[in-house]
């Protein structure tokens, strides 16, 4: 028979293994939850505050993907060591899974103590980690929730609050921390409702496209249109794309919505005279998801539209990540004959360098510069530089958001070829755009 001493050791070992994360030796989610339950009970009994901090590494996935899983494991071990050095004896630090960690901080003056701890944790991960030759720099984002003296929060609620705060911390840029607040909660609920409504709208086919004319600045002729998403949200009314595209991007819904827009825009353009083009906006997220190229091909095939008549509008966000793959997709689209336009040029990170890096067919000068033409010298200088540089590279320019004759005149002087803006037509339903085409064809005949 097994001596009792050995049996006891084996049982101890087994219960340790069941409660700890093997890689880092830290308590696992199960043990963390037990401790949090105890801590909450004590906090309630003694009317003491308690803070929960949820941590998520900022660039862990990058390290794992580029340097491999072994390096990822080493990184997690080093991170665990550094975090352990920062927390107190009375705190519980656990690894919840993946690159997620969490801390229970009882018996401390709150929120000051959680605030100070968060700063120390972030500082502890600032220095790069040696992974045996490779150095990796990860940071950490932290969400904090607390039980105040009233001790009302329950365990699930507390973890949900900390997670929400973490989400907000990530959104506010990496390497930061946030406390949960009811305001945050309200925003989250709104966002969830929006996501649910977007799904319904997609399933029911509630989206529409509006078409805004693009006009040749010399002749005044309509050259084509940009397709812009429109959504009448039940109970809310017209929702501008700026208010729902970002949620569609975060949830992946932009994939099917974007595919629908491509199909619909190509189908509509087939009813127009042959020389007119249709511009469709494509989100950076669509480029990162598989199947964008196929979606374009399928939209062209099912509508029968000549590829040369389709223009894909991208923003600099497309060029910011996974450049090789993105460039390959852009080249494949171009080799079909599809045109590529750089949207919102001059904003965000876009630079003249992008014009050299990739041969666009068209550059769209952002509304923010056009708006100041006539009253701001630097806007003028920028427009002149963009038009000059584009021409040198054989790229056409179109100005967005043209509202006044003064702006149009200045753009003409600088050699800009095309314009789009309220002065020439607001985004309008398909029928209205077709009517406009008929009217302008009649004027041309007179």
Which residues of the chain form contacts with Mg ion (CB under 5 A)? 281, 313, 343-344, 400
Using DSSP bridges, classify how beta strands 310-314 and 339-345 pair: parallel, antiparallel or unpaired. parallel
The least distance separating ligand C2E from the CB of residue 343, rounded to whole angstroms, comes to 5
Counting contacts by CB under 6 A, is residue 206 touching ligand C2E?
no
Per rule CB under 6 A, count of chain residues that contact ligand C2E:
23
Our CB check for ligand C2E shows the closer of 177 and 207 to be 207
Q: Give CA–CA dist 235/92, Å, rounded.
A: 46
Query: Distance from CA of residue 436 to its chain's centroid?
Result: 36
Q: Give CA–CA dist 54/58, Å, rounded.
A: 13
What is the x/- site pattern for ligand C2E, positions 358-397, by CB under 6 A? ---------x------------------------------
The least distance separating ligand C2E from the CB of residue 336, rounded to whole angstroms, comes to 20
**Partner that binds at residue 353, options ligand C2E, Mg ion, none, CB closer than 5 to 8 Å by kind:** none
**Partner that binds at residue 229, options ligand C2E, Mg ion, none, CB closer than 5 to 8 Å by kind:** ligand C2E
Contacts of 126 (CB under 8 A, 6+ apart): 139
What is the x/- site pattern for ligand C2E, positions 230-259, by CB under 6 A? ----------xxx--x------------x-
Q: Give CA–CA dist 177/175, Å, rounded.
A: 7
When binding is defined by CB under 6 A, the residue of 49, 224, 346, 401 that contacts ligand C2E is: 401
Q: Which two tokens stand for residue 79?
A: 């991170």
The least distance separating ligand C2E from the CB of residue 377, rounded to whole angstroms, comes to 22
The least distance separating Mg ion from the CB of residue 343, rounded to whole angstroms, comes to 4
What is the x/- site pattern for ligand C2E, positions 267-296, by CB under 6 A? --------------xxx-------------
Stretch touching ligand C2E by CB under 6 A, among 30-38, 64-72, 290-298, 400-408? 400-408
Counting contacts by CB under 6 A, is residue 407 touching ligand C2E?
no
Sign of CA dihedral 293, 295, 300, 306: negative
Our CB check for ligand C2E shows the closer of 24 and 329 to be 329
Our CB check for ligand C2E shows the closer of 65 and 409 to be 409
Counting contacts by CB under 6 A, is residue 56 touching ligand C2E?
no
Counting contacts by CB under 6 A, is residue 228 touching ligand C2E?
yes
Our CB check for ligand C2E shows the closer of 53 and 225 to be 225
Our CB check for ligand C2E shows the closer of 281 and 390 to be 281
Q: Give CA–CA dist 78/339, Å, rounded.
A: 49
Counting contacts by CB under 6 A, is residue 349 touching ligand C2E?
no
The least distance separating ligand C2E from the CB of residue 271, rounded to whole angstroms, comes to 19
Q: Give CA–CA dist 94/20, Å, rounded.
A: 8
**Partner that binds at residue 27, options ligand C2E, Mg ion, none, CB closer than 5 to 8 Å by kind:** none
Counting contacts by CB under 6 A, is residue 419 touching ligand C2E?
no
Phi/psi for 425 (5° steps) reads: 150, 130
Q: Give CA–CA dist 126/129, Å, rounded.
A: 9
Crossing angle (nearest 10°) for helices 254-269 and 241-251:
120
Q: Can you say whether residue 355 is alpha, beta or left, with left for phi > 0 and alpha for psi between -120 and 50 degrees?
A: alpha
The least distance separating ligand C2E from the CB of residue 356, rounded to whole angstroms, comes to 23
What is the x/- site pattern for ligand C2E, positions 294-323, by CB under 6 A? -------------------x----------
Counting contacts by CB under 6 A, is residue 344 touching ligand C2E?
yes
Counting contacts by CB under 6 A, is residue 350 touching ligand C2E?
no
When binding is defined by CB under 6 A, the residue of 99, 343, 417, 418 that contacts ligand C2E is: 343
Our CB check for ligand C2E shows the closer of 104 and 402 to be 402
Counting contacts by CB under 6 A, is residue 324 touching ligand C2E?
no
When binding is defined by CB under 6 A, the residue of 63, 104, 427, 430 that contacts ligand C2E is: 427
- Give the closest residue to 51 by CA, choosing from 118, 139, 124: 118
Binding site for ligand C2E (CB under 6 A): 212, 228-229, 240-242, 245, 258, 261, 281-283, 313, 343-344, 367, 400-403, 421-422, 427
């Amino acid at each position: 028979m097994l001596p009792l001493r050995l049996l006891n050791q084996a049982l101890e070992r087994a219960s340790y293994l069941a409660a700890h994360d093997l890689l880092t030796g830290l308590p696992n989610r199960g043990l963390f939850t037990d401790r949090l339950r105890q801590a909450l009970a004590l906090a309630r009994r003694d009317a003491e505050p308690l803070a929960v901090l949820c941590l998520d590494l900022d660039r862990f996935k990058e390290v794992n993907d580029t340097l491999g899983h072994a390096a990822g494991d080493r990184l997690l071990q080093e991170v665990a060591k550094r975090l352990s050095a920062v927390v107190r004896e009375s705190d519980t630090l656990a690894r919840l899974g993946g690159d997620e960690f969490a801390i229970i901080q009882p018996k401390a003056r709150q929120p000051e103590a959680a605030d100070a701890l968060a700063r120390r944790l972030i500082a502890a991960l600032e220095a790069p980690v040696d992974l045996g030759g490779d150095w990796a720099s990860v940071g950490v984002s932290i969400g904090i929730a607390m039980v105040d003296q009233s001790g009302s929060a329950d365990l699930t609620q507390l973890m949900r609050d900390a997670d929400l705060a973490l989400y907000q911390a990530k959104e506010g840029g990496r390497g930061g921390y946030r406390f949960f607040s009811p305001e945050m909660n309200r925003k989250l609920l709104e966002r969830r409702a929006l996501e649910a409504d977007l799904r319904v709208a997609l399933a029911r086919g509630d989206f529409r496209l509006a078409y805004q004319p693009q006009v040749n600045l010399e002749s005044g002729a309509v050259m084509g249109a940009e397709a812009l998403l429109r959504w009448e949200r039940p109970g809310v009314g017209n929702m501008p794309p700026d208010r729902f595209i970002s949620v569609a991007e975060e949830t992946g819904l932009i994939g099917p919505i974007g595919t629908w827009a491509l199909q619909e825009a190509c189908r509509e353009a087939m009813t127009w005279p042959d020389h007119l083009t249709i511009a469709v906006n494509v989100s950076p997220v669509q480029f990162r998801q598989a199947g964008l190229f196929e979606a374009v091909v399928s939209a062209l095939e099912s509508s029968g539209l000549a590829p040369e008549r389709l223009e894909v509008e991208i923003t600099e966000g497309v060029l910011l990540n996974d450049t090789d793959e993105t460039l390959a997709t852009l080249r494949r689209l171009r080799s079909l004959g599809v045109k590529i336009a750089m949207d919102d040029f001059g904003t965000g990170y876009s630079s003249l360098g992008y014009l050299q890096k990739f041969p666009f067919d068209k550059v769209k000068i952002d509304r923010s510069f056009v708006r100041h033409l006539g009253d701001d010298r630097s806007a003028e200088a920028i427009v002149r530089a963009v038009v000059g540089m584009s021409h040198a590279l054989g790229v056409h320019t179109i100005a967005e958001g043209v509202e006044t004759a003064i702006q149009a005149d200045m753009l003409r002087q600088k050699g800009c070829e095309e314009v789009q803006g309220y002065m020439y037509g607001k985004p309008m339903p398909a029928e209205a755009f077709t009517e406009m085409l008929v009217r302008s064809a009649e004027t041309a005949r007179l």
